[in-house]
Amino acid sequence: MAPTRTSKPDKAAIICQALRRAIIEQALKPGTKLPEDALGERFGASRTIARHALGQLAAEGLVELRRNRIAVVATPSWQEARDTFDIRIELERLVVRQLAGQLDAGQIARLRAHVDAEEGARGGPDTVSIRLATEFHILLAEMTESPILIRYVSEISYRCCLILATFSRPHSSDCAISEHRALIDALEAGRVDEVMNLMHHHLEAVADRALVAPAKPRGRDIMDILAPYAEPAPVAPAGQPRVRAIMR
Amino acid sequence: MAPTRTSKPDKAAIICQALRRAIIEQALKPGTKLPEDALGERFGASRTIARHALGQLAAEGLVELRRNRIAVVATPSWQEARDTFDIRIELERLVVRQLAGQLDAGQIARLRAHVDAEEGARGGPDTVSIRLATEFHILLAEMTESPILIRYVSEISYRCCLILATFSRPHSSDCAISEHRALIDALEAGRVDEVMNLMHHHLEAVADRALVAPAKPRGRDIMDILAPYAEPAPVAPAGQPRVRAIMR
DNA sequence: GGCATTCTGATTGCATGCAATTTGAACATG
DNA sequence: CATGTTCAAATTGCATGCAATCAGAATGCC
């Protein structure tokens, strides 16, 4: 009778969820190896399942998968980071465009409650603040009830989490909280243009606060450091890195 | 020695590619069942591989996957279709923003050649025209050399193919060709604002030409027709379908 | 010491097998 | 005839096994 009892959720989905959280909370740092055996054993599942989960995570861009090689947590390049934020800005502008003036009292309350939770976590570790801030944005996306928007915003937000974890110095996410509050106010008031601009500048600010250009290219991988030297040897003054990051 | 010989590409990847093409060319229509056994056998692979491929395609939104049920080619709803195009517009505006004035002669030539190919296919079946037009946009995205942009634009473009296949009446994609040419010209001239606007209106036009609102809700699935009646019974005047599709 | 080579354990790619679930058709019932 | 029930075939969920490949330590050579 009661089909309310949703069939037990995929084992693979559980592993995905766990890995996602671990990655965005930086428990698993970029580059960390993720062997299928180990994962399966850890979650009481077989390699087949772990493999499937890794495939999904790879499709989300959270892990890198190369044939015959152990999967690793993705290590976004700095340029990818910038591009990712550019995309995120446009996606989230769409979100607030749809939501402005359309939220009922309950939804507004839920948003405010979430921001309060963010405030409550201010003392704690950075990774938790980052996760909560990210979840605020996902919460917004979910209110559009647009499956595609929800999927894309969630995915790219998680990716941004990974990016922040990778590149940001110990930063204060305090400002984010007040910016979130401003967003809610503008949403409630239904001022479309204002809320789109607020979102735009909020995300730009997050990116700028966190994404310090790596002067010394972030130790980790030797090949990355050597990459520029693999080029045939630039003729023009070496600095100009192929335009990108347009107007800003 | 010569590692040029790239290690043989995943069997799963091959199946993915094949299914993608079949779906976007409407050889596999929305709703078509995709049993793991049959797929595996058809491609000389085991069920495990077929399953993996289906998982990837599901992550791309081309197939729908429900637990313990046969996978089917995705059937986008009309609302999803609209949302998808909204997202696509913003993504592709980013693409041309990055490319305007940055393409070398060879790249411009390649683009023009592609449009010529589109023109050459004008007499043929709609599905081929649609595929070629889609590939033009993906070609553009690839020129950004931004992995994330490439992935997102490719994915959403394929989805739009599926959508067009689902909703469009027998339409003439002739106008698309001249619009593509205009895009190339503006890109070459490096007029950023103009090319962004061109892309915006081009995609809007594609959507409008193809996405006729389904007055009679497209026969197919009875449950879809009944869906609105499952709501607890609206208090406000029943028509207003939750805003969406803002300014247009 | 520096550098190429060999070899072995670790790890993935894939197929197969079994239990659980769904599908839908035959059958029973009012 | 419409509706509910039963049951077998079809199909998925998952684990396991084997061959192919990789990683990196040990080895040999200069």
Mean pLDDT of chain A: 84
What would you report as the CA-atom Rg of chain B, rounded to the nearest whole angstrom? 20
Q: Among A171, A172, A169, A174, which Cα is nearest to A115's?
A: A174
Task: Give A123 CA → C28 C1' in Å.
Answer: 69
What's the confidence (pLDDT) of residue B214?
Answer: 60
pLDDT, tens digit (0-9, with 9 covering 90-100), for A86-141: 999 999 999 999 999 999 999 999 999 999 999 998 888 878 888 899 999 999 99
For residues B149 and B141, is the Cβ–Cβ distance under 8 A? yes
Specify whether domain A13-73 bears CATH 1.10.10.10.
yes
Range with top average pLDDT, A227-231, A242-246, B198-202: B198-202
Q: Is the dihedral of CA B147, B16, B89, B201 positive or negative?
A: positive
User: What's the one-letter identity of residue B144?
Assistant: T
Smallest CA–CA distance from B88 into chain A, residue: A91
**Residues in contact with A152: Cβ distance below 8 Å, sequence separation at least 6, in sequence order:** A91, B87, B152
Which of chain D's bases lie under 7 Å from a protein CB? Answer: 10-17, 21-23
Q: Does A61 sit within 8 Å of B148, measured CB to CB? A: yes
A218 or B106, greater pLDDT: B106
| B37 Cβ nearer than 7 Å to chain D strand | yes
**Domains of chain A, residue spans:** 13-73, 78-210
Number of CB atoms found within 10 A of residue B239's CB: 6
Q: How many residues does chain B have?
A: 248
Q: Which residues of A touch B52 (CB under 8 A)?
A: 51-52, 55
| A12 Cβ nearer than 7 Å to chain D strand | yes
Q: Does A91 sit within 8 Å of B244, measured CB to CB? A: no
**Residues in contact with A124: Cβ distance below 8 Å, sequence separation at least 6, in sequence order:** none
For residues B177 and B119, is the Cβ–Cβ distance under 8 A? yes
Shortest Cα–Cα distance, A177 to chain B (Å): 27
Specify which residues B63 forms β-bridges with: B73
CATH architecture for residues B12-73:
Orthogonal Bundle (1.10)
pLDDT in 10s for each residue of chain B, 248 residues: 333 345 567 889 999 999 999 998 889 999 999 999 999 999 999 999 999 999 999 999 999 999 999 999 999 998 999 999 999 999 999 999 999 999 999 999 999 999 999 999 888 888 888 889 999 999 999 999 999 999 999 999 999 999 988 887 766 666 789 999 999 999 999 999 999 999 999 999 999 887 776 654 444 444 454 455 544 444 444 333 443 433 33
Which value does ipTM take for this structure? 0.83
Task: Give A67 CA → C19 C1' in Å.
Answer: 31
Token pair for residue B213?
């609102």
Q: Which residues of A touch B242 (CB under 8 A)?
A: 102, 145
> DSSP for chain B?
--TTSPPPP-HHHHHHHHHHHHHHTTSS-TT-EE-HHHHHHHTT--HHHHHHHHHHHHHTTSEE--TTS-EEE----HHHHHHHHHHHHHHHHHHHHHHTTT--HHHHHHHHHHHHHHHHTTTS-HHHHHHHHHHHHHHHHHHTT-HHHHHHHHHHHHHHHHHHHHH--S---HHHHHHHHHHHHHHHHT-HHHHHHHHHHHHHHHHHHH----SS--SS-HHHHHGGGGSS--SS-TT-----S---
How many angstroms separate the CA atoms of B50 and B41, rounded?
A: 9
| B47 Cβ nearer than 7 Å to chain D strand | yes
pLDDT, tens digit (0-9, with 9 covering 90-100), for A127-144: 888 889 999 999 999 999
How many angstroms separate the CA atoms of B237 and A11, rounded?
A: 44
pLDDT, tens digit (0-9, with 9 covering 90-100), for A142-198: 999 999 999 999 999 999 999 988 887 666 666 789 999 999 999 999 999 999 999
Instruction: Domain B78-210: state its class.
Output: mainly alpha
Which of A87, A145, A148 lies nearest to residue B94, judging by beta carbons? A87
Q: Among A157, A82, A66, which Cα is nearest to A74's?
A: A66
Which of chain C's bases lie under 7 Å from a protein CB? Answer: 10-17, 21-23
Smallest CA–CA distance from B81 into chain A, residue: A148
